[in-house]
Structure 1
């Protein structure tokens, strides 16, 4: 650049007689480098925490660290800047940051699924192509306007040579940051909606197009006309890698991975290949990241890719890459925009740079018949920039292709495109109150000839087997078919995009299937189990889906998926499973938290299934017992039991527990506290009327016309009567209990018993039946009805949350 000055510093050579002459690195350079890494990483984590409510990607927090050191902020204090980044430490941090960038590109190539790209459908491919062509047409005009509007009499003048600046300016506007898009969708819980899937696929294709354009065009901005030889030689290198080296690597690595012979020493040679390929493409005149990306692209996926990411992700993306991206922030001189006469027009250019990709996506989505709102959201998501755009800007800076003002304008536009996406998308798809709008969200209100939609959530194959057995009992018929959405829940760890890309589709049964990751193999096993169930029953439709999310927020994905699929029931597995000794043992405490979170604000009815080897019992001789106390949950449980009773060979016994005397007392403390917090409290008398009406309908319609259904009543007068009644019922024996969760009961008896419950999500009766001390060998289904809020887990376990203030849902639809 025109105003760049050289920096000089002294180096004391300790070994002047040797070939490798240097200072004492451990004393002079390592402490400085370590401090710079700690400073950058620590501050980027702090900014990430600050930006978390706005759902900003890590890239923004890392750039913010560098921007903090610019002249308008801490950079104005020379002493502070030189203390953090002294002259003699700049070279080392630059080298490490570029190594981190190379490994970042390698991991990006490793996570790209070529099969998804090659088999992509017309719609996402067309949207991605439109998002590239239109910005390429508009970008030169915007650059010309920038040169016209900017006041060249300012202290920082524009670049004199414009051809290379035109090229890089255009390329920056065309690319899409696939990792950033995936992070945004995941944070906003839109990943498993129609919009999310369309955006993720289009973003992956758009980033692939971006890499192709980078490989073909960037060499011309670096080497001029002779770049044609660089491009041809790089294409030859890529062809050799894909068609010669890839088959060799696949056979060798697959064999070692299958035999579990891949150790750290051999992994080191694999990682050294990143630097080798990067060096080759750099020598050829392209850029080192192209070789690293291609190398990651040709390596096998599955267990091997997961292993490589686990050993290199934290080092490359957690420590080294932030050094590079913070450098982009240091170069961002916003003063060059505002310290000139025509700064309002320059700001207008920054805003106009955000428009081309959005307009092109809107046009493409309109052609495919999508709603304007969805098209706008998709355009905003594809307008998100990531590492690719920053790499191009870094090249433009290092090669003095762009001036300080031009760099500030285009970088500001890139950051603006990325920063505003999450807040705007969140505003467009702001959750709206949707209570009591759809009676199909409860099984009790579902018509007899309507399709029953069930969302079954599982964490492993064993739970899938149990879910299939309970769903089979729902008596699917051609008059009343069942549509099952099986959700395999996976925890989001490590490289988010790698997991998301890997789980966009079911694992294919092609060569190399033995090297599937643990989660991919589990997904395939679950999908096979549900597919086999669907093939065996004509009245059952099945879809196996995968949800990859942090366990702390995965319930939001479950809610959104259930809303979009319009399900009437969410089935969840209990957090305990049957051991070989016949007792229930904890599988994972996290599963319990997930179940409680799902129940609190579920968009439909919820059932928790406690499986005591229910699949081993033949459905032609199945005994179901349903203790009925009263309330909406019990009515929903009775509706499910009533539906199951239509299955040939199933015998249903309904026992109504009628409360008398002390058992009928209302817990006024809970009611008084609830009135202060909630808008309504369930009226006991009204609920009793509804219970009587539904029981009468059940007895008239079912009991009197079906010998396989029996009904009886039993009285309860005090606290101790409830366990005693359950013990008496257990003596009669059954294969499955179906009970209501009972969160709407404000009876003093149940509030007292609830204080002693280990699993409040099961309610009082469910907790007793699921207890190992109770000694039951029967499976259990606990039901919570939609429409009366969810149970609040914590201090006041028996209070009720109302739909009017407590539950919000999000519905995203694409056509």
Structure 2
């Protein structure tokens, strides 16, 4: 057999353009009939060159080697594109789509045609699509797990107003324009393309929460003030869109079936019955799944991972939810997404599911699926200038209305113009979910090849513009500018000292308490402490910031007691220093690379004079290094770069048993040393404290240096009246 032999031997090919009814038309002639012969059972593993000298070395003669070669080729081309495009600021999914265009029919180069036929022979796409399709189903399930559905109840009026206005008004305007000119559009574009314009309007009016969360994570503004607002608005828009689309899919599919069977009297009855099944599907999934998963969480000891048997049960329940969705005239994806929303986010169950499946899904299965979807599109068929003009006009109109509404509402809420424009770009961003949805519509014969090509290009353009635009316009560090004079040295006499103390591990509690006690809080010089417990975000997309003083009045929706040990320890500290110290505790749950934003924002909001950070090295009792935390070191470096006030890093080498406080300051000179000396002088207001200052002076310094004069003045023995 020759090198062009494939898994399927083609005996005869018949091209037939089938004409269907209005709902099942075939505008591109995509129905191709092949008379083929297949070897059954198909060979999975190759015999190798020693097993069969004729064709044993051909990868196209066995399923597994062919699949591996296809995956390898996809990743090589994707990484080659990403190596160039990432330096220009393009997101990763753009490289995945470009790889699909190269391997698909879009790139018509005769030299590559034979290579493509060998790499993707007839029928082999089914295996690749099955593997990657499971990856997309898992992607939706994990995004449902990471969504904090209860965040809708905590979303403020600003986010609700932006979400509803940005979703409803562009949809109504776009649909009104489409139906007003439907007759002219069908004459100019054809009956099929003209009738499917409302599908484009609905697809571009909404917003996908996973796409926005991924954009904010890539730009490292996930837990910024603007990022939290964008996440809240995107979640509201996505939930409303999913409910409306799910109900619309169930009803429209019933009407299509009724029209196909030519039984006009059954249409409304069948649509009503299907809508009832849709609500039964939602109610049944909630009633069964939520109590079962709460039982799993209750039976998992605190701090321990979920048992593997429970993980298997949850995964089987996910597949059953997908089958139940098919019964309700939904897709398997809709059932799995709904089940993912019902999984309790965060530890132990949500975080365990994300840890188990996130890596293989995000970096292996999903990129393959996006490339396979791009291989279905043939952008070289874009030859109708009228269609391109109409589709581009509708997309620009919808997004222009959405952006103007978002910017207008932000200006009404006294937000800066730049922030309003960045928020509008975030809510107009398109990504993997939007692109795959258009491919599903294309597979369902609801879009022509030209229309889905325009949609694919619009996703590329909008996703790239949003990422590049927000990255160039929004700088979360700019709000800290102008506050660099807030330090201990500039405090007025007998004023309160405001401190933000950060805690990451239980071992930090005692060391922070000891440091605060040294600073001698009195009635005339009170101490205001804001304790921030930093926790890693696992198993959810939305960061959390909790004020535990507010939590005493309004309980947390998920009824999880965060930072209980920290709260108890510093409540006792406040009680022991009653009248001189005020303590507030907070919990920030976010990814380690974004924690510095929570720290700096709290220091800015509470007018803190100093931020206290734990050191990244921990020593043992024998003096040796016990552990080193690289993430903590990176966090401290970022806080030092952006902090709006002074920063102190607490190095704990053990506690002293002596009642006398011994403090030593090595004074080399400069603003940092003057700040440290000022803090030390505050501590010696206590009679039980002894301060020793070692002032190291170079003999080569010039006397006229202004910094030297300040250093000499500050290093003199203090006098208190």
Q: TM-score range by the shorter chain?
A: 0.7 to 0.9
Residue 641 (structure 1) shift? 1.0
**Alignment CA distance shift 1:594-1:369 (3 Å):** closer
Superposed counterparts of 1:656-675, under 5 Å: 656-659=694-697, 663-665=698-700
**Alignment CA distance shift 1:292-1:693 (3 Å):** same
Is 1:688 aligned with 2:708? Answer: yes
Q: Secondary structure at the match of 1:160?
A: helix
Check the 8 A contact 2:619/2:653 in 1, yes or no: yes
Q: Secondary structure at the match of 1:612?
A: coil
Is 1:192 aligned with 2:229? Answer: no
Partner of 1:241: 285
Check the 8 A contact 2:147/2:542 in 1, yes or no: yes
Residue 328 (structure 1) shift? 3.5
Aligned residues: 658
Superposed counterparts of 1:310-321, under 5 Å: 310-321=355-366
The CA deviation string for residues 155-195 of structure 1, in whole angstroms up to 9 with x for no partner, is xx6552755x3553233123322223223223333333321
Quick one: which of 175, 179, 201 aligns to 1:140?
175
Partner of 2:615: 574
Superposed counterparts of 1:74-153, under 5 Å: 77-141=112-176, 143=178
Is 1:355 aligned with 2:394? Answer: no
The CA deviation string for residues 710-742 of structure 1, in whole angstroms up to 9 with x for no partner, is xxxxxxxxxxxxxxxxxxxxxxxxxxxxxxxxx
Q: Secondary structure at the match of 2:669?
A: coil
Quick one: which of 41, 44, 56 aligns to 1:25?
44
Q: Return the TM-score normalized by structure 2.
A: 0.79
Check the 8 A contact 1:103/1:274 in 2, yes or no: no
Q: Secondary structure at the match of 1:546?
A: strand
Superposed counterparts of 1:401-480, under 5 Å: 401-430=446-475, 437-438=482-483, 440-448=485-493, 452-476=497-521
Residue 216 (structure 1) shift? 1.4
**Alignment CA distance shift 1:206-1:436 (3 Å):** closer
Is 1:640 aligned with 2:666? Answer: no
Stretches of structure 2 that go unaligned for 5 or more consecutive residues are 1-25, 47-61, 256-266
- For 1:169 and 1:84, locate their aligned partners in 2 and report how far apart those are by CA, in whole Å: 33
Check the 8 A contact 1:440/1:568 in 2, yes or no: no
The CA deviation string for residues 579-601 of structure 1, in whole angstroms up to 9 with x for no partner, is 24465533324534544554466
The CA deviation string for residues 355-396 of structure 1, in whole angstroms up to 9 with x for no partner, is 232223234334444333322222221222344423431231
**Alignment CA distance shift 1:351-1:436 (3 Å):** closer
The CA deviation string for residues 214-265 of structure 1, in whole angstroms up to 9 with x for no partner, is 2112334444354443332121011112124421342245325669695445
Q: Secondary structure at the match of 1:692?
A: helix
**Alignment CA distance shift 1:102-1:358 (3 Å):** same
Q: Secondary structure at the match of 2:192?
A: coil
Superposed counterparts of 1:704-723, under 5 Å: 705=721
- For 1:254 and 1:248, locate their aligned partners in 2 and report how far apart those are by CA, in whole Å: 10
Is 1:288 aligned with 2:332? Answer: yes
Check the 8 A contact 1:630/1:691 in 2, yes or no: yes
Partner of 1:703: 719
Check the 8 A contact 2:222/2:543 in 1, yes or no: no
Q: Return the TM-score normalized by structure 1.
A: 0.71
Superposed counterparts of 1:340-419, under 5 Å: 340=385, 343=388, 347-419=392-464
**Alignment CA distance shift 1:261-1:197 (3 Å):** closer
Superposed counterparts of 1:434-583, under 5 Å: 437-438=482-483, 440-448=485-493, 452-476=497-521, 482=527, 484-489=529-534, 498-501=539-542, 503=544, 505=546, 523=563, 525-526=565-566, 529-530=569-570, 533=573, 539-542=581-584, 544-546=586-588, 548-549=590-591, 551=593, 567-581=608-622
- For 1:380 and 1:68, locate their aligned partners in 2 and report how far apart those are by CA, in whole Å: 29
Is 1:629 aligned with 2:629? Answer: no
Q: Secondary structure at the match of 1:441?
A: coil
**Alignment CA distance shift 1:533-1:178 (3 Å):** farther
Higher mean alpha-carbon deviation, 484-493 vs 217-226, is at 484-493
- For 1:581 and 1:543, locate their aligned partners in 2 and report how far apart those are by CA, in whole Å: 33
Is 1:330 aligned with 2:379? Answer: no
Quick one: which of 316, 326, 349 aligns to 1:304?
349
Residue 296 (structure 1) shift? 1.8
Check the 8 A contact 2:536/2:590 in 1, yes or no: yes
Partner of 2:242: 211
**Alignment CA distance shift 1:612-1:90 (3 Å):** same
Residue 566 (structure 1) shift? 5.5
- For 1:651 and 1:259, locate their aligned partners in 2 and report how far apart those are by CA, in whole Å: 41
Higher mean alpha-carbon deviation, 235-244 vs 498-507, is at 498-507
Is 1:651 aligned with 2:651? Answer: no
- For 1:146 and 1:86, locate their aligned partners in 2 and report how far apart those are by CA, in whole Å: 44
The CA deviation string for residues 320-377 of structure 1, in whole angstroms up to 9 with x for no partner, is 2223322333344444446536756654444334223222323433444433332222
- For 2:181 and 2:79, locate their aligned partners in 1 and report how far apart those are by CA, in whole Å: 35
Stretches of structure 1 that go unaligned for 5 or more consecutive residues are 15-21, 667-681, 706-815
**Alignment CA distance shift 1:106-1:436 (3 Å):** closer
Residue 103 (structure 1) shift? 1.5
- For 1:558 and 1:262, locate their aligned partners in 2 and report how far apart those are by CA, in whole Å: 31
Q: Secondary structure at the match of 2:678?
A: helix
Residue 491 (structure 1) shift? 5.7
- For 1:594 and 1:134, locate their aligned partners in 2 and report how far apart those are by CA, in whole Å: 42
Residue 609 (structure 1) shift? 0.9
Residue 122 (structure 1) shift? 2.8
- For 2:515 and 2:81, locate their aligned partners in 1 and report how far apart those are by CA, in whole Å: 47
Check the 8 A contact 1:150/1:343 in 2, yes or no: no
Residue 638 (structure 1) shift? 0.8
Residue 281 (structure 1) shift? 1.0
Q: Secondary structure at the match of 1:36?
A: helix
- For 2:426 and 2:319, locate their aligned partners in 1 and report how far apart those are by CA, in whole Å: 32
Is 1:255 aligned with 2:299? Answer: yes
Check the 8 A contact 2:547/2:585 in 1, yes or no: no
Check the 8 A contact 2:545/2:589 in 1, yes or no: no
Partner of 2:13: none
**Alignment CA distance shift 1:350-1:210 (3 Å):** closer
Check the 8 A contact 1:69/1:81 in 2, yes or no: yes
Check the 8 A contact 2:613/2:648 in 1, yes or no: yes
